[in-house]
Structure 1
Amino acid sequence: MDQQQLLSLYRSMLTAREIDKVEKELTNRGDAFFHLSGAGHEATAALASHLTADDWLHCHYRDRALLVARGINVRTFFDTLLCTDNSPGRGRRMSGFMNDPALNILSMVTPTGNNALQAVGVAAAVRNNPNKPIVYCGIGDGTTQQGEVLEAIGEAVRDELPVLFVIQDNKWAISTTTDGKTFYSLPDGEADSFYGIDIHYVNGRDPLECHEKFGEVVADVRASRKPAIIVCSVERLTSHTNADDHTIYRTEEDIRNACETGDPILVMEAKLRQAGITDDDLKLIRTQVADQVAAAEEDALASDTPAAKLDAKSLLPVEVTHPSKEKFGSGEGDQLNMKDALRKVLGNHLETDPGVTLLGEDIEDPKGDVFGVTRGLSTEFPNQVFNSALSESTIVGKSIGRALTGERPVAFIQFADFMPTAYNQIVSELGAIHWRTDGSWKAPVILMIACGAFRPGLGPYHAQTFESVFAHCPGIDVFMPSTAADAAGMLNAAFKSDRPTVFLYPKSCLNDSEHTTSEDVHEQFVPIGVAKKVHSGRDITLVGWGNTVSLCENAANALSDVGVEAEVIDLRSISPWDEKLVISSAETTARLVVVHEDNQTCGMGAEILATVAERANVPVAMRRVARKDTFIPCNFENQIAILPSFKKVLTACADLLDMDLDWIPPTELADGVAIIEAIGSGPADESVEIVEIHVEDGGTVAKGDVVATVEATKSVFDITSSVDGTVDEILGEVGESIAVGAPLVVLSVESTTRRKKPVTQENAGTAILAQRKSGHTISLARPTEERRPFDVGLSHVSSICGNEAVSNDRLLEGRHKMTSDDIVRRTGIRQRYWMDETQTPLQMAVDSCASVLENEQLLIDDIDLLICSTTSPETITPSMSCRILSELTGGQDTMLQAYDISAACSGYLYALQAGYDFLQSKPDGRVLVTTVEVLSPLLDLDDFDTSVLFGDATTATMLYGEAHFDKSVARLHRPELSARGEDGSTLSVPLMNNGSIKMKGKQVFQKAVRAMMSSLTRVCQHKGILIDQLDLVVPHQANQRIIDAIQRRINTEVFSNIAQHGNTSSSSIPLCLESVLPESEAGERLGLCAFGGGFTFGAGIIEKL
């Protein structure tokens, strides 16, 4: 070293010592509260001259002189000590912990050893940089036995990474001597090597010896691109920190000898004198350094106090968080399950961004992850997809290091249960780096973690979720999708967010063939922190995520069968979570059930319920359904008993809804019958494909015989028989996909040979729900009516049907092999009336209106409002109502309100509500309600899903305000209406001459029954009665199966005339009333309910006068 280099090194070391001195003074006088010294470790500054601007430093907390030599400003030390607004972490870090992106100084760690794996990750990212950078990792001797340090050295050796591990050995780990407690201090002396690399020893008391040794080793690491270890023997000249007193555990002689012989500054001054530097020169330098440090201290003391940062995460732009930014798949082409969707998203990002890497156990081909999520990716992207050592902390720590260089690593943890071994890196580093550096550094690692139970074969250490633990870690986003579309959209969001993300994917959902998505996954996007409303409802809110969403849906379906509308919310984003949607829904329903498979105590459900309790503007009754506070057993029956289940969720709902709930036990197999079920190769399998069937009907099967060969996610394997028997029935064919758990072969067996089959799924039986009247029922707060509503009544109904009676036989002539009886079985319809060539929709409507006017002895001038419900207007403008008005007035200038309603089959109820509301503002008025439904011209006669259903009819009903109520035959109560938006893919009616009616009958059936039941329940609740207190229910005549389904759910008789008229859309209810009202007794209450395209639905009550 020349004289200038010597003085530069001395100045850096002296500056660090002077900073220590002043920091101690500030702490002693109460201006600061924590101080740690680097006294005795200053010789590491000798490393700085061998480093380039491209090199990276992950320093030890006593590397103060090295930090000064690298370029850290003196004032920064005091800003950090005093926690000022100018400090690198804006007051968040304790004294001595620095970072500087401009100098490639990484954020120093407080849990000792955490920097080692990160340094390895940085080295992996920069290894092939043409400038040949190296990574310095400073650690203490006590830290060397941290598992992560040993993992880091091993990883650096295996991957040949340019990491320089410098161990600063001062013989103390606070008060514990480290002799014999490090990997290099062995019973027979100092180790020469570790993990196959030489250990270099250097006297850290002598800065010039350090300079020489550092130069040799750095040059070798830079050239070879391999790691090295230096053990730098130093003295700790002070207590561990100001909170420690080393005189308690160190002898006076030890301390004196350390200060006299082990002070590198004294050694350096002696070397400088030997090099011709005078004492005056040294005194001048000491004065300059003291002045520089004093000025920095003064500036720092004048600095502002930082504002508290209330969030540990970086801010996200509205493009990433607003609900309107959600992008769905096209729905076209081949469909992907969750596993395939995740793989495709990862492949897209690997292809478009060379900085994206994947690291995890067993993720390379041919295995491609234990669940197949990464299969094929390492073959396509061999330089970006890597198998890791079997160490979760290595996976996460190394990925953090890569992220700190600007890469976008994806780290795979095979099971959530293995997370604890990586927890230190997750909570102490991944979540904290952005916060503790005030955003100077970021680590947008995506942790992909398979999680969850609900499958036979899973058990302890393979079935947990841990989302509450992750959500408790500040600075980390936590996602858990339940569908393929959400998995794709949320993974894209994780990449776009540039924030660390824990992406939990339930293994039981990976191969779900129901909730799939289209292949355009690169376009799909789910905003962060936005939940998804799976079902809308107004009676109770169910919130779940991951595996529990399906439990919530099943409970909602069971409730809808008895007319209860459950709102199901898939939270999907755990942190941040959609407080706004959940609170809004809970306020609407006043009842909330949160379902999660993490254990109950301190689970996410508790957080949600607490937030709702604090922020909701109305009282909300709440329940949690969660895993018991225990571990998950492998025995599946026990697993069901511990985990949330359909039965538990429905029981909680019934409790909040004050309903009786009984269960009909599942049907047992008949004696002498055994079932061989399809099984999967692993817990993620939802279905298998039959490759070969090895038995035949009537054949004998022995225990252990192969019944079928099937292909699952992981392998092709045989399914064998567990009993001896004779094949009664084979329930699958070669090439067919069959659900896991579904019957594959039915056997006849000897009664004594049948063994109890292991339980593979929850089978709670059939739920029987019934509403009960109770003083404890939770009621929604409703605005009190300041006055009673004005009475509204209605007249008898007049109707006009098509002239052409079309029987089933006539409809089928020469067109279909179906028979008339087949149509009756499917629909209940025997005939329908179609408009003939002598009729028009307009004339039919005018005739029905004229009839009711005549029957009620009214003129058109007596009417105040004309409402026409129609699905088949002949023109958009003029509206059908205005055309009817024109015909009824005979061209005279009569003025009254007139408009059309398009609410499909619910249109009559929509019109009744509109008329009722009008008559509240005009109690002396009259409203003419007409329905005009001529659908036969819109039928495709070869489409027997629709052509057999619809008939043509128009009707007219008069509504009377209170002033004319005595003219009424029935009292009308205000109908309850609602709608759920639909894109027309399930049910659509085109404009005239623009196509034909299209309908997916099975989907409409389920929706119709549930919507009509819930609407009927709601309108009865509003009137303070039960459905069973109605005298008759008159539903929209859609299909006899729907009518029968409603009848099975209630005790009240359900009216039907569909056999004679078919489905006449919004004309069907008034057609029924035309027959029913004249036969009803005074005081009888009739419930009306309808469901139509759109989807629209509603219900109402009328009372016969």
Structure 2
Amino acid sequence: MEGRFTTEYLKQLHRIFFVSREIDRLEREFIKQGIAHFHVSGAGHESTALLNEFLQDDDWLHLHYRDKALMLARGMPIREFFSSLLATASSHSAGRQMSAHLSSRALNITSIVGPVGNNALHAAGVAASLKHRPGMPIAICCVGDGTTQQGEFVEAVAEAVRGQYPVVFVIEDNSFSISTRTSKQTFFDLPGGPAPSFYGVEIIRTDGDDLRASREAFHKAVRHSRNNRTPSIVLLNVERLSDHTNADDQKTYRTLLEIEAGSSRDPLPNLRAMLQKAGIDADALLKIEQELTAEVQAEAALARKEDAPTVEPDAKAPYPASFDEKTEYRGNEKASTLTMREALNAVLDKQLAANADVVLFGQDIEDPKGDVFGVTRGLSTKYPDRVRNAALSESTIVGTAVGRALAGQRPVAFLQFADFLPLAYNQIVSEMGSMFWRTGGAWEAPVILMVSCGGYKPGLGPFHAQSFEGMLAHTPGIDVVMPSSAGDAAGLLNAAFESRRPTVFLYPKAVLNNSDGRTSEDLDKHFVHPGLSRHVARGRDITLVSYGNTVSLCANAASAFEAQGFSVEVIDLRSISPWDEKEVLASARRTRRLIVVHEDNRTVGMGAEIIATVTEKTDVPVVVRRLARSDAHIPFNFRNQLETLPSYRKLVDLMAEVLECEVTWHEEDDSGPTAAIKAIGSGPADENVLVTDLFVKPGDKIEVGQLVAVVEATKASVEICANIGGVVQEVFAKVGDQIATDSPLLTVDANRDLSEQNFALASEIQNKFVLRRLKSHVIPALRRHSSNFSEVVINGIGFATGARRVTNEEIIHNWPNRRADEILALTGIKSRFWVGPEEGTLSLATKAARDLLRQNKMSIHDIDLVIAATGTPDIATPSLASRVAVAVAEDGVRPSLAAYDMGAACSGYLYALQQAYDFIAQQSDAKVLIITSEVLSPLLDMNDFSTAILFGDAATASLVTSRDMARNPLFTASRPIVSGRPEPGDLLYVPLPDDGVIAMNGRSVFTEAVHSMTRSIENACVDAGIELANLDLLVPHQANQRIIDTIAKRSGRPALSVIETYGNTSSSSIPLAMLHVASERSEPMNLGLVAFGGGMTAGAAIVRTVK
């Protein structure tokens, strides 16, 4: 080894040592000049650079903040140190990390940690992933002597030894932990003297100022770890030749004599002496150092010219582009067989099979136990090398998972209970959550942390029943999800794998084996986008927001209130960070009553966050309440547990309060009670048990503690003993039957009150209740029509036409003596659309409504009122409006809204627009869907030339809101005026389907139409305060071209005609024409809408295009 110290080698070392020292010098100068604000020196620690000689490109480095020289030796650019010092946009972290905490993805130098010791667990995790890689790469972990007292470091060494992982731990011992002396206070320097080993690993000792000895020590350690694939420890004694940082003054705790004595251990003068001995004289060395100084100064000058960074408010990586193409799928309800536990197990199985980088580890996850709840059952048998039990240490589990993720694996780490999350919180908040953000996206830690959570099960207590989602949601940089059903669990887990965002996946153990909420076996298709909620129920009177265990409470309460005339909306957030702010706000605006229900404790919980957001961002008053666990721990006594957590009874009482109702409970009669003795398993993972013995029959008298049955559970036979005395009434199983755990095995006519027998409660008893309204629960109008309310907004128009385009040339065959151009001359029509065999009023209306909702990125559940104007209804009841509302509800949930039809013939759109206007004037945040749908072709008399050539089939859908609620504004509209001169059908008659044909007195209709529309548009102008001459364009009902031309002539204003394409589509003609204006004209315009229809009806409105 001595021969390796050639002149060239010494010159290389000198360059690294001197540049490192010069960087230190300039950093201190910048501090003095106020250009920089934080500096950590590497002076005295430069000998770590000797490590690099023995490293490969595929080795991984987890470094100490004083390792400037080693980073330079590895290839870190000089400028990077100054970019980091000055926190520029070009720095490795875009100015986010403290200046000494560098990283380089290209060089496998991971992000230097803030909480010292965290990197040791990362190194152990990286080494675990490197263990069997080709080329025998290793991990290097450098820490200070003070850091060795951190639990994270001790655990990391223990984990490396337990797994025999190839990692070299380098302890840079400068005898100080800032000002605290570490002599005789570490595992390697014990009160009784130096330790030879730690956890059975030899401690290789060397002095950093002895370059030859240090090089030999590093060589020995690296060779051992690389060849044997096991850990090594190097203790490098060094001198800290500077203050701890620029904010420290070591003279306050070290004597000047000690500081001066320490300078004799400076490795740089020793290296200069070695160079001079090798033939480099002092002048040559001075010239080399002057050139290096100039090089460092030049790089620093370039760094000073770099741009300042911008603030990044989000600590999370964006979701992949593939998410934009995915639609939610929660399973096939008709083939739902898998519980949440089975679905999670199957998704993990599929991910393991599809990706060799997926690894699972945690406590008790290997077979035969397969996790305490059975979530991983069978997986370690199938994938023995990638599903492994972990050490009994939550910080080790999460810390090594971060390391594995950094090295490219896809770790799924398991914590048995959420109650143990605090033991791993350091790694979650400091590493999982910050890695992407603090490295400017260069590094990511896509760990999926699966944690059982929550209460509502007997046998739990203060350290087995918490959920901690509030604490997790407060942690930047991680996704937090908590499903309540198997379909959501599978979809969210698939999304977590695909998102590559660190995710804490909380699964409520109380619902793992629920028979309700099962999903289908096509798990590859399951997908739920994090941050999007699910509507369990739709309603108008009150909104309940929850997730996890409390969803079923809300669903049950909603059903009970629905039965008593209330309409309750239930939102399952599913995802806590991010959470579906948009949908919750929209629902709160609709119902104006909101209760958030969660089992985490009340103070600074998700309920507070959601309610604060609603209070800040809604423009209408909302009554808000929280129902959460009190700020107390969860007791072991199950009755007390239910009293501590949100309960069905508490929720019902709170809902009654918010809805201003009096609630009367029907309590169960305890006299002569009938109680059930339920099947039990050997543990929480048991879903079903096999009955092997029964020792009682109906009529038998039993006592408390008497053996009544034996069942075979997953891991053992279980004796079931009576928990209540009395007479057996009914037995629900026989020997050989499979029976679900927690289901009744038999019932007993108890011989005294249940309360006297300390009856074991297994779930909350949800008694019946009666509500009495103290006030009307209908939402009061919050914004009345006032003088300054003058217009509404039309936000987009959807449309649909019949599938068949019928030209004049095609239709003229019915009249041999007529010509196609004659039809054009008489009517202005070239073609019209007629429905095909499978089309009708409903299908066209549904298609148009879907088109509109898609344009506005809305669902029917966002709508408050649906008005359908049609002169051709296919049935009388239900209304067309109601059927369309149900048809466009893509989630299959019946909407809760007002919906009705109106018949005003060709004036229908303007009649509906007036009603929408008045509705919004009373409820300014309302959204109204106006539908027009006319299918006239089946009603035509093909022998009647005057009518058969006119009519076409079309539907439209318009979204009408106030200006404040506008989403996709096309037009603003003043309030329409409507009028009429009723007649019995002598002028125009449109029958019901299969009840005749259309009949029209064309000459009389023409006269009435021209007269009525002229008068209507004049009145509308007066009402809107606009001169007729200031209308840019008339948009009349497209009856025929002669009427359109006459109206234009009489008013003196140009009139739009689109009749040549569509024919007369009755109430759909005006919105079709408006759509043409919106698509063809960009300049602001005043339009006059005017219509005339059978009945006779008339209407007009002034609208303005929105640029």
**What's the offset of the Cα at 1:963?**
9.0
* Aligned counterpart in structure 1 of residue 228 of structure 2, from 215, 224, 234: 224
Q: Residues 429-458 of structure 1: CA distance to partner in whole angstroms, max 9, x if unpaired?
A: 011111111011111000000000011111
1:268-667 to 2 correspondence within 5 Å? 268-320=271-323, 325-331=327-333, 333=335, 335-667=337-669
**What's the offset of the Cα at 1:667?**
2.7
Q: Residues 790-849 of structure 1: CA distance to partner in whole angstroms, max 9, x if unpaired?
A: xxxxxxxxxxxxxxxxxxxxxxxxxxxxxxxxxxxxxxxxxxxxxxxxxxxxxxxxxxxx
Counterpart residue identity of residue 744, structure 1: L
Counterpart residue identity of residue 710, structure 2: T
Take 2:787 and 2:456, find their aligned partners in 1: how far apart are those partners?
53
* Aligned counterpart in structure 1 of residue 58 of structure 2, from 54, 58, 62: 54
Q: Which residue of 1 aligns with 2:138?
A: 134
**What's the offset of the Cα at 1:55?**
0.9
Take 2:559 and 2:619, find their aligned partners in 1: how far apart are those partners?
28
Q: Which residue of 2 aligns with 1:693?
A: 694
Query: Aligned with 2:314: secondary structure?
Result: coil
* Aligned counterpart in structure 2 of residue 233 of structure 1, from 225, 233, 237: 237
List alignment gaps of at least 5 residues for structure 1: 788-872, 881-895, 924-960, 968-1105
Classify 1:208/1:277 alpha carbon distance in 2 versus 1 (closer, same or farther; 3 Å).
farther
Classify 1:13/1:160 alpha carbon distance in 2 versus 1 (closer, same or farther; 3 Å).
same
Counterpart residue identity of residue 722, structure 1: N
Classify 1:747/1:82 alpha carbon distance in 2 versus 1 (closer, same or farther; 3 Å).
same
TM-score (norm 2): 0.71
Take 2:169 and 2:205, find their aligned partners in 1: how far apart are those partners?
12
Q: Which residue of 1 aligns with 2:1055?
A: none
Q: Residues 478-520 of structure 1: CA distance to partner in whole angstroms, max 9, x if unpaired?
A: 1100000000000000000011000000001100111101111
Q: Which residue of 2 aligns with 1:1097?
A: none
Contact 1:44 1:66 in 2 (8 A): yes
**What's the offset of the Cα at 1:334?**
6.3
**What's the offset of the Cα at 1:906?**
6.6
Q: Residues 564-621 of structure 1: CA distance to partner in whole angstroms, max 9, x if unpaired?
A: 1111111001111111111111111111111100111110111111111111122211
Classify 1:682/1:903 alpha carbon distance in 2 versus 1 (closer, same or farther; 3 Å).
farther
Query: Aligned with 2:782: secondary structure?
Result: coil
Classify 1:688/1:652 alpha carbon distance in 2 versus 1 (closer, same or farther; 3 Å).
farther
Contact 2:672 2:749 in 1 (8 A): no
Query: Aligned with 2:106: secondary structure?
Result: helix
Classify 1:916/1:386 alpha carbon distance in 2 versus 1 (closer, same or farther; 3 Å).
same
Counterpart residue identity of residue 202, structure 2: D
Answering whether residue 730 of structure 2 is matched by residue 729 of structure 1, we say yes
Classify 1:67/1:752 alpha carbon distance in 2 versus 1 (closer, same or farther; 3 Å).
closer
Classify 1:910/1:513 alpha carbon distance in 2 versus 1 (closer, same or farther; 3 Å).
closer
Query: Aligned with 1:243: secondary structure?
Result: coil
Q: Which residue of 1 aligns with 2:270?
A: 267
Take 1:731 and 1:768, find their aligned partners in 2: how far apart are those partners?
32
Q: Which residue of 1 aligns with 2:1070?
A: none
TM-score (norm 1): 0.71
**What's the offset of the Cα at 1:211?**
1.3
Counterpart residue identity of residue 439, structure 1: G
Query: Aligned with 2:598: secondary structure?
Result: strand
Counterpart residue identity of residue 694, structure 1: F
Take 1:334 and 1:609, find their aligned partners in 2: how far apart are those partners?
35
**What's the offset of the Cα at 1:216?**
2.0
Query: Aligned with 1:35: secondary structure?
Result: coil
Q: Which residue of 1 aligns with 2:152?
A: 148
Classify 1:709/1:283 alpha carbon distance in 2 versus 1 (closer, same or farther; 3 Å).
same
**What's the offset of the Cα at 1:716?**
3.9
Contact 1:372 1:714 in 2 (8 A): no
Counterpart residue identity of residue 30, structure 1: G
Q: Residues 960-994 of structure 1: CA distance to partner in whole angstroms, max 9, x if unpaired?
A: x9999999xxxxxxxxxxxxxxxxxxxxxxxxxxx
Counterpart residue identity of residue 122, structure 1: V
Take 2:875 and 2:511, find their aligned partners in 1: how far apart are those partners?
40
Take 1:635 and 1:518, find their aligned partners in 2: how far apart are those partners?
36
Classify 1:904/1:717 alpha carbon distance in 2 versus 1 (closer, same or farther; 3 Å).
farther
**What's the offset of the Cα at 1:293?**
0.9
Query: Aligned with 1:518: secondary structure?
Result: coil
Classify 1:692/1:296 alpha carbon distance in 2 versus 1 (closer, same or farther; 3 Å).
same
Contact 1:657 1:777 in 2 (8 A): no
Q: Which residue of 2 aligns with 1:206?
A: 210
**What's the offset of the Cα at 1:212?**
1.9
Query: Aligned with 2:631: secondary structure?
Result: coil
Q: Residues 307-356 of structure 1: CA distance to partner in whole angstroms, max 9, x if unpaired?
A: 1111011111354267x621232345561000000000000010010000
Contact 1:508 1:684 in 2 (8 A): no
Q: Which residue of 2 aligns with 1:37?
A: 41
Classify 1:119/1:712 alpha carbon distance in 2 versus 1 (closer, same or farther; 3 Å).
same
Classify 1:436/1:445 alpha carbon distance in 2 versus 1 (closer, same or farther; 3 Å).
same
Classify 1:779/1:735 alpha carbon distance in 2 versus 1 (closer, same or farther; 3 Å).
farther
Classify 1:167/1:749 alpha carbon distance in 2 versus 1 (closer, same or farther; 3 Å).
same
Take 1:155 and 1:654, find their aligned partners in 2: how far apart are those partners?
55
Q: Which residue of 2 aligns with 1:899?
A: 872
Q: Residues 616-663 of structure 1: CA distance to partner in whole angstroms, max 9, x if unpaired?
A: 122211111111011111111111111111112222211221111121
Take 1:751 and 1:555, find their aligned partners in 2: how far apart are those partners?
31
Classify 1:122/1:642 alpha carbon distance in 2 versus 1 (closer, same or farther; 3 Å).
same
* Aligned counterpart in structure 1 of residue 16 of structure 2, from 6, 12, 16: 12
Counterpart residue identity of residue 679, structure 1: I
1:1044-1055 to 2 correspondence within 5 Å? none
Contact 1:137 1:166 in 2 (8 A): yes
**What's the offset of the Cα at 1:879?**
8.7
Query: Aligned with 2:901: secondary structure?
Result: helix
**What's the offset of the Cα at 1:734?**
4.3
Counterpart residue identity of residue 143, structure 1: T
Classify 1:453/1:125 alpha carbon distance in 2 versus 1 (closer, same or farther; 3 Å).
same
Q: Which residue of 1 aligns with 2:188?
A: 184
Take 1:913 and 1:329, find their aligned partners in 2: how far apart are those partners?
34
Answering whether residue 9 of structure 2 is matched by residue 22 of structure 1, we say no
Counterpart residue identity of residue 770, structure 2: I
Query: Aligned with 2:708: secondary structure?
Result: strand
Q: Which residue of 1 aligns with 2:678?
A: 677
Moved more, 611-620 or 145-154: 611-620
Take 1:552 and 1:720, find their aligned partners in 2: how far apart are those partners?
34
Take 2:238 and 2:553, find their aligned partners in 1: how far apart are those partners?
62
Classify 1:451/1:293 alpha carbon distance in 2 versus 1 (closer, same or farther; 3 Å).
same
Take 1:908 and 1:384, find their aligned partners in 2: how far apart are those partners?
56
Q: Which residue of 2 aligns with 1:123?
A: 127
Contact 1:587 1:616 in 2 (8 A): yes
**What's the offset of the Cα at 1:697?**
2.3
Q: Which residue of 2 aligns with 1:107?
A: 111
| Superposed CA RMSD | 2.9
Take 1:651 and 1:713, find their aligned partners in 2: how far apart are those partners?
40
Q: Residues 932-973 of structure 1: CA distance to partner in whole angstroms, max 9, x if unpaired?
A: xxxxxxxxxxxxxxxxxxxxxxxxxxxxx9999999xxxxxx
Give the percent of matched residue pairs that are identical in Structure 1 and Structure 2.
48
Q: Residues 156-199 of structure 1: CA distance to partner in whole angstroms, max 9, x if unpaired?
A: 11111110000000000001000122111112210001101110
Take 2:876 and 2:179, find their aligned partners in 1: how far apart are those partners?
81
Classify 1:227/1:904 alpha carbon distance in 2 versus 1 (closer, same or farther; 3 Å).
farther
Take 1:772 and 1:684, find their aligned partners in 2: how far apart are those partners?
47
Contact 2:453 2:467 in 1 (8 A): yes
Take 1:275 and 1:550, find their aligned partners in 2: how far apart are those partners?
81
Take 1:596 and 1:683, find their aligned partners in 2: how far apart are those partners?
22
Aligned residues: 827
Counterpart residue identity of residue 872, structure 2: Y
Take 1:619 and 1:752, find their aligned partners in 2: how far apart are those partners?
48
Take 2:649 and 2:714, find their aligned partners in 1: how far apart are those partners?
30
